[in-house]
Amino acid sequence: MTHPAQPIASHFINGEYVEDAAGTPIPVIYAYTGEQIATVHAATPAIVDAALASAEAGQKIWAKMSGTERGRVLRRAADILRERNHDLSVLETYDTGKPLQETLVADATSGADALEYFGGLAGSLTGEHIPMGEDWVYTVREALGVCVGIGAWNYPTQIACWKGAPALACGNSMVFKPSETTPLCALKVAEILHEAGLPAGVYNVIQGMGEVGGALVTDPRVAKVSLTGSVPTGRKVYAAAAADMKHVTMELGGKSPMIVFDDADIDNAVGGAINGNFYSSGQVCSNGTRVFVQKGIKEKFLARLAERTGNAVLGDPMDEATSFGPMVTENQMNIVLGYVEKGKAEGARLICGGKRADRDGFFVEPTVFADVTDDMTIAREEIFGPVMSVLDFDTEEEVVARANDTEFGLSAGVFTKDFTRAHRVIGNLEAGSCFINSYNDAPVEAPFGGVKASGVGRENSKEAIKHFSQVKSVYVRMGDVEAAF
Ligand code: NAD
C-alpha cells in the first residue's frame, strides 16, 4: 500500500503536479524507522525548462495584479495552512523526523505567519515622490522577475514559505528546489498557494540534488537566487549567480556564541542554551553552539544543564510527548557522532550524552562538553547536531574577542541582568541575528540573516522586501531641456 506521505507526483509546475520518471529516483526515508516512505524523481532538463518557462509566463500575469490582490491570495493561503496544520505537521515530521510536539507549532504555522505578514505588506509597496523645484523624480518598486529558492533540509515548509512569501508579495514568481533529503513539504505549499487563487506558474517546485540547483542558478531567465544551506554550497551558488549579476540572498551556516555572565538568571540561561542547541535535535543554523560561561557560575550552570537535559524525552516523533527526535538521516547522525569522538579525543570533558541512543532511529543523545577550548574542532566547525560546547571566560573584553574569532556571523546571545552590559556586548558582536536574555526567537517581523561567511541579505521583516524588489527612478522635467549645443 502506498504510504500517505507519497506525493501525487514529484514536481509542481504551472499549477499542477507533474512527473517525469526518467529523472534519478530519490528515496524519502523516515528518520525514526529507517523505512522508505516515498520516492520522487530528480528534475530532468525538460522539467527544469518547463518550470522556468511557466515561472516566466506566470510572473507577467502576477506582476500586473495589484498588491492588494496579490496579498489576498497569500493571506488565503496562510489561512489554509493553519486549517491543515495537523496534517502538514505530520508530513513535516515524516520529511524531517522532527517531533510532532515541535512541528505542530513551528513549521506550517511559521510558514503561515510569513504568508500573512507579506500578504499584508503587498498592497503597501509603493515608491516615492521627490520634488526638485518644478521638476520631480518618482520611484517605482518593481519585481525582479523569476526567483529561484533553494532549501536546506531542517525546515522544509518554513523555508519554502520564507522565500516564497516575500518573493510573491513583490510580484515575482518562484521556482523552489527543496533539499533532496526533504522533498515533500514544499509541494504542499505550492498546492495550497494555487488553491488560494495563485495564477498557474507563479510558484513551482522541482526536485533534485545540487546539479538541479546549479541548472536553475545559471539559467539566464532567473533574476535572483535565495539559498538556505551550508557555507561551501553558498560559495558555489554565489559565484555561479555572479556570472549574470543575479541578485542573491545567502542564508548559511553558523557557530554562534551564547555568552552567560555571572549575574545571569541561571535557569533562563540554561533554558536558552537548551533551546539554542537541542531544538530540532540541534539541526538549526542559528544555534548558539559555543556557550561561554563566566567562571564564577560555571559548575552551577553545568549541573543545572545536565539535570534539565536529562529530562529530554527521546521517542516516537509522532507521539506528542516526545521532545527530542532523531537526526534527519543516518549520514547526518554519523557526521555528528564523528564530531563527538573528536571532542573526546581533543580533551573536552563530557558532561552528558556522547553517543548514539540505544534505540531504533537515527538518534544522537543530547550531548554537552565542558572545558572546551577555542582551538578544538567542536568549537570551530558547524556540527548541525545536538552537541553543545561550554567554554569558560573571565572578562567581558576577552569573551567578546573570542566570540568574534570565527569565520561565521549568523547569531549571538547574551544572558546578564546588567542591561548596559547586554547592549554593549551585543553591539560589539559580529552577528546578524542577536538575542538578549533569550535565544533563537525568529518571528517574521524581525530581520533574519548573517554577516561574514554566514551570508548576505536578510529574510523576513520589511528587509526581505528590499531583497526581492528593485527601484526604478524616473526624472520628470516640466520645462525646456537646456543643452550645450
Ligand atoms: P547544503 O548546503 O548541503 O544544501 C542546501 C541546498 O543546496 C540543497 O537543496 C542542495 O541540493 C543545494 N545545492 C547543493 N549544491 C548546489 C549547487 N552547486 N548549486 C545549487 N544548489 C546546490 O545544506 P544542507 O545540508 O541541506 O543544510 C544544512 C546547512 O544549511 C547548514 O550549514 C545550516 O547551517 C544551513 N542552514 C542555514 C539556515 C539559515 O537561514 N541561515 C537555515 C537552515 C540551514
CA of 240 to the centre of ligand 1 (A): 15
CA of 237 to the centre of ligand 1 (A): 10
Residues with CB under 6 A from ligand 1: 150-154, 177, 179-180, 209-210, 213-214, 217, 228-230, 233, 236-237, 251-254, 285, 382, 384, 410, 455
What local confidence, expressed as pLDDT, does residue 63 receive?
A: 98
Rounded to whole angstroms, how far apart are CA atoms 28 and 25? 10
pLDDT range class, residue 77, cuts 50, 70, 90: very high
State the average pLDDT over residues 134-153.
Answer: 98
What local confidence, expressed as pLDDT, does residue 418 receive?
A: 98
Residues labelled catalytic: 163, 251, 285, 459
What local confidence, expressed as pLDDT, does residue 476 receive?
A: 98
CA-nearest residue for atom 32, ligand 1, is 230
- Reply yes or no on whether the pLDDT at 53 is more than 90: yes
CA of 15 to the centre of ligand 1 (A): 26
CA-nearest residue for atom 40, ligand 1, is 251
Give per-residue pLDDT as tens, 309-333. 999 999 999 999 999 999 999 999 9
Question: Which stretches of 151-294 are assigned E, i.e. beta strand?
Answer: 173-177, 203-205, 222-228, 247-251, 257-260, 290-294
- Reply yes or no on whether the pLDDT at 1 is more than 90: no
CA-nearest residue for atom 4, ligand 1, is 229
pTM over 0.95: yes
- Percent of the chain scored above 70 by pLDDT? 100
User: Which numbered atom of ligand 1 lies nearest the CA of 332?
Assistant: 25
CA of 243 to the centre of ligand 1 (A): 20
Q: Which residues contact 363 (CB under 8 A, 6 or more apart)?
A: 281, 314, 324, 325, 326, 327, 333, 356, 357
What local confidence, expressed as pLDDT, does residue 28 receive?
A: 98
State the average pLDDT over residues 98-111.
Answer: 98
CA of 209 to the centre of ligand 1 (A): 11
Quickly list DSSP for 212-245: HHHHHHT-TTEEEEEEES-HHHHHHHHHHHHTTT
Hey, how many other C-beta atoms are within 10 angstroms of the C-beta on 279?
A: 19
User: Which numbered atom of ligand 1 lies nearest the CA of 449?
Assistant: 41
- Reply yes or no on whether the pLDDT at 251 is more than 90: yes
CA-nearest residue for atom 42, ligand 1, is 285
Ligand 1 pocket test, candidate residues 150, 177, 382, most atoms within 8 A of CB: 150
> How high does pLDDT run on average in the chain?
98
CA-nearest residue for atom 17, ligand 1, is 210
Give per-residue pLDDT as tens, 351-405. 999 999 999 899 999 999 999 999 999 999 999 999 999 999 999 999 999 999 9
- Reply yes or no on whether the pLDDT at 428 is more than 90: yes
- Reply yes or no on whether the pLDDT at 445 is more than 90: yes
pLDDT range class, residue 459, cuts 50, 70, 90: very high
User: Which numbered atom of ligand 1 lies nearest the CA of 232?
Assistant: 2
User: Which numbered atom of ligand 1 lies nearest the CA of 459?
Assistant: 40
What local confidence, expressed as pLDDT, does residue 105 receive?
A: 98
State the average pLDDT over residues 137-153.
Answer: 98
Rounded to whole angstroms, how far apart are CA atoms 350 and 369? 5
Name the residue with cell 533554558.
Answer: 271
Rounded to whole angstroms, how far apart are CA atoms 198 and 190? 9
CA of 227 to the centre of ligand 1 (A): 7
What local confidence, expressed as pLDDT, does residue 384 receive?
A: 98
